[in-house]
Structure 1
Amino acid sequence: MVKVVTFGEVMLRLATMRRERFTQAREFEVTYGGGECNVAVSLAQFGVDATFVTAIPDNDIGQSCINYIRQFGVDTSEILRQGQRLGTYYLESGAAMRASKVVYDRAASSIAEIQTGDVDWKKVFDGADWFHFTGITPAISKNAAEVCVEAAKAAKELGLTVSADMNYRKNLWSPKEAQATMIPMMQYVDVSIGNEEDAEKCLGIAAEGVDVTVGEIDPEAYRPVVQALVDKFGFKKVAITLRESFSADDNGWSAIYFDGDEILVGRKYPVRIVDRVGGGDSFCAAMIYGLLQDGWDSRQVLDFAVASSAMSHTFHGDFNLVSVKEVMAVAGGDTSGRVQR
């Protein structure tokens, strides 16, 4: 069995009920999630040996978080129990023309205070094939960024494939700060993944004439972006997810993928949103899964990733709880949603 290691922050998620506004809410739904954790959970559903590394406080909330992750088959044995608090984020789900909102409360979290040397990466990567991180982790704190570099460098030296989801978050840092940190890290990255904005915000390469705030997105506008990323950073593979936001309830979802030789455009799915958080993470997980399969061609990898991440929008919570069989059915054209009896 192949083994994938992910590293990053997991947070307590407090979501308003019934699409209420924060100012209306008198109760919150409790779940847990975070970019790299979401990837590990998705991979575990596909039957991959997925290990998630993070730091969480040694208290009942930390234990509740571990219990929650572990129920989905993720190896939590390398999680550090240290620091004083688990980061929290609050989610207000939008509707129609009212956008969803996220408020972060993650300052001084356990992962923000992690130090280089805290994780024995040689031990963690023993028997592993792949390492994945996102641009969220280096944005959390200088310490977290240093540990992320430490992990990516160790993975590269040990011969693992390294993937990075740029995952720019304007609430955490500016494009200038992001580029100062992320660009040097790209020397360790084999597979680059991001959305329409990430290449510009994190790596300074923008698609010309594209406005992501309007509905339709032309995949052809991103072909020069992909080529520029490969030329500048030497990525072996590049994927860019494309989200068309018609409203908070209805999106169009697709992606483009450079496999080292050619650029492919994925099928576009019309998606009725149940919960859009974690869509990019589910794409990353499915890409990793597809690239680890013997005999899969580039079209199969892309079709699987786009179908899986489209399906992720149909679940409450951060995690994409689909099986390989379910994704294969959708990728094969069965989008009817008929009852399975």
Structure 2
Amino acid sequence: MSTPQALLNAPEGGVLTFGETMVALRGSGPLKLGGSMNVSIAGAESNVAIGLARLGHEVRWAGAVGDDEAGQLVLRTLRAEGVDVSGASLDPEAPTGLLLFEPRLPELTRVHYYRAGSAGSRLTPEAVECAFAARPPHVLHLTGITPALGPSAREACEQALQLAEEHGTFICLDINFRSRLWSTREAAEVMRAWAPRVDALIASDDELPLAVPPGSEGQENAMAETLLKLGVGEVVVKLGAAGARVHPGSEGGECGPLHRPARAVRAVDPVGAGDAFGAGYLSALLDGEPAEARLDRAITTGAFAVTTPGDWEGAPTRAELPLLTAQPGTVVR
């Protein structure tokens, strides 16, 4: 088990993440009425990868895409954002997944997945082994989305956890529960088994019960304390409009829990805010920042994300981080 401070002395291997990244089509209204659609990409892990790359960190994405034009769009976009995709897999027998966003009401967007049998769901443990063999990572970033995609993707996650432990890699897990992919019972079975092996666990307040043992569900502080006693390095809780809180472990040398309020911004699109938050938190961890500064950067990057349509398009660069503290109406020249 690594501590945030240990990251400063760990061998430089960058951040490794993997999962399914899909082609994303965003409509301007109800899909049944037709109309034009904006074409981009979307995926929780690649969103984090882009967020970290924009903040100046070395990051690799080792997911799988189909050997098709959609897959080339995914890889081209990630390369353009500075993400290393040399470990990505091309699957000639399965397509790249598809995601449709349907704005239905001013504050309601419906999401339609077309990912059953996709290349991302067929990611193999061998692909993860190759990524570690090429260069063991400094940090392994996982989400609860990838193991929900299918048996092969879940085995790839298990292999990544095992290799990370063998190499002393810092492990970050964002629960990122998706009810369209698996049930709370299935998710809890996996998350509860993984949690004690994790150095930093990130979850929204309603996801936290999925990581604690049965019967331990309850107040946030009690659940966080349970996880810390089980071996989790630190617990980071996203509270939406109420900000976020970190419960540091005793080995991290921090006092806690610590809370930071959300930043007041004009929200345009909440999609991708949690991934941007995770990228900001990991970025500050990699910089050796204390818990207070880690939360502050995570909340800042999350705030940037909601001000721009898209999964990752609003992620800030390091030079842009101070912009949210500028006076309203300021013109930056």
**What TM-score, normalized to structure 1?**
0.86
Residue 329 of structure 1: how far off its partner (Å): 4.2
- Between the aligned partners of 1:206 and 1:314, the Cα distance in structure 2 is 34
Alignment-derived partner of residue 217 in structure 1: none
Alignment-derived partner of residue 308 in structure 1: 301
CA 1:268–1:16 in structure 2 vs 1: closer, same or farther (change >3 Å)?
same
Secondary structure at the aligned position of 1:23 is classed as helix
CA 1:136–1:77 in structure 2 vs 1: closer, same or farther (change >3 Å)?
same
The structure 2 residue matched to 1:54, chosen from 46, 53, 63, is 63
- Between the aligned partners of 1:130 and 1:281, the Cα distance in structure 2 is 16
Aligned residue identity for 1:275: D
Secondary structure at the aligned position of 1:200 is classed as helix
CA 1:21–1:122 in structure 2 vs 1: closer, same or farther (change >3 Å)?
closer
Matches within 5 A, 1:152-231: 152-201=161-210, 203=212, 206-208=217-219, 222-231=220-229
Larger mean CA deviation between 180-189 and 116-125 belongs to 116-125
2:281 maps to 1:283: no
Contact 1:38–1:281, Cα closer than 8 Å, also in 2 = yes
Larger mean CA deviation between 120-129 and 22-31 belongs to 120-129
- Between the aligned partners of 2:109 and 2:329, the Cα distance in structure 1 is 25
Contact 1:175–1:202, Cα closer than 8 Å, also in 2 = no
The structure 1 residue matched to 2:147, chosen from 134, 138, 158, is 138
2:315 maps to 1:321: yes
Hey, which of these two has a bigger chunk of helix by percent? 2
Residue 258 of structure 1: how far off its partner (Å): 1.5
The structure 1 residue matched to 2:246, chosen from 236, 251, 257, is 257
Aligned residue identity for 1:88: L
Alignment-derived partner of residue 117 in structure 1: 126
2:324 maps to 1:297: no
The structure 2 residue matched to 1:4, chosen from 7, 15, 19, is 15
- Between the aligned partners of 1:172 and 1:337, the Cα distance in structure 2 is 43
- Between the aligned partners of 2:308 and 2:287, the Cα distance in structure 1 is 26
- Between the aligned partners of 1:282 and 1:228, the Cα distance in structure 2 is 27
The structure 1 residue matched to 2:235, chosen from 211, 222, 238, is 238
Matches within 5 A, 1:23-62: 23-62=32-71
CA 1:16–1:253 in structure 2 vs 1: closer, same or farther (change >3 Å)?
farther
Aligned residue identity for 1:239: V
Deviations 1:105-163 (A, max 9, x none): 10001121233324334645625210101000001111111111101210121011000
- Between the aligned partners of 1:324 and 1:206, the Cα distance in structure 2 is 38
Aligned residue identity for 1:334: A
- Between the aligned partners of 1:121 and 1:2, the Cα distance in structure 2 is 14
Deviations 1:48-79 (A, max 9, x none): 01100101111222112211111111001100
Alignment-derived partner of residue 84 in structure 2: 75
Alignment-derived partner of residue 97 in structure 2: 87
Aligned residue identity for 1:255: A
Deviations 1:244-288 (A, max 9, x none): xxxxxxxx2511112224111112223422221111111111111
Q: Unaligned 5+ residue runs, structure 1?
A: 209-221, 244-251
The structure 1 residue matched to 2:330, chosen from 320, 323, 338, is 338
Contact 2:67–2:90, Cα closer than 8 Å, also in 1 = yes
Aligned residue identity for 1:5: L
CA 1:150–1:301 in structure 2 vs 1: closer, same or farther (change >3 Å)?
same
Q: Percent identity?
A: 28
- Between the aligned partners of 1:166 and 1:39, the Cα distance in structure 2 is 14
Deviations 1:299-337 (A, max 9, x none): 11111111111111112221143112322343xx43636
CA RMSD of aligned residues (A): 2.0
Aligned residue identity for 2:284: G
Secondary structure at the aligned position of 1:100 is classed as strand
- Between the aligned partners of 1:2 and 1:279, the Cα distance in structure 2 is 26
Aligned residue identity for 2:27: T
Secondary structure at the aligned position of 1:76 is classed as coil
Secondary structure at the aligned position of 2:113 is classed as strand
